């Protein structure tokens, strides 16, 4: 069973078009990385492809490799910038899989030993989001 069609009015498509703001970490012709405004931890970053894809299974195979290289690059920078002990990298597909925004994206979550993730749904502090974005940009 195939997934529903990509909807170009999703929030991440609007961010890509510049219709919505973001705390930008990285951008090139393949991907955009920005801070999650409801972070589950310090340095929680999202990496989205510029190719319109609803989820991982919808991403054209020839675009997946270059996109994953950007995910890896941003993940390494987030880990270094935040002086994290490790990373949690999450990607959800469709409602049953936990996806909320239907544009392919990876969550990069720096992690520290003994520090739990925050529950979802709390807006982050704007100054902290910008400061963390600047730290990760500097590590790229």
Q: Which residues are catalytic?
A: 105
Alpha helices in the chain (DSSP H): 11-16, 61-81, 126-139
Q: If residue 25 lies in a helix (H) or strand (E), which one and from where to where?
A: strand 24-27
Provide DSSP, 79-117.
HHHTT-SEEEEE---TGGGT--SSS--EEEEEE-TT-PP
Taking residue 126's Cβ as centre, other Cβ atoms within 10 Å add up to 11
């Amino acid at each position: 069973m195939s997934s529903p069609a990509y909807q170009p009015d999703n929030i991440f498509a609007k961010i890509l078009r510049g219709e919505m703001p973001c705390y930008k970490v990285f951008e090139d012709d393949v991907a955009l990385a920005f801070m999650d405004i409801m972070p589950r931890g310090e340095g929680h970053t999202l990496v989205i492809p510029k190719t319109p894809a609803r989820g991982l299974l919808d991403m054209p195979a020839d675009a997946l490799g270059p996109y994953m290289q950007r995910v890896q690059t941003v993940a390494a920078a987030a880990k270094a910038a935040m002086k994290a002990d490790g990373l949690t990298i999450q990607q959800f597909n469709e409602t049953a899989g936990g996806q909320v925004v239907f544009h392919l994206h990876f969550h990069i979550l720096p992690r520290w030993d003994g520090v739990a993730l925050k529950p979802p749904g709390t807006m982050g502090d704007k100054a902290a989001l910008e400061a963390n974005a600047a730290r990760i940009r500097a590590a790229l």
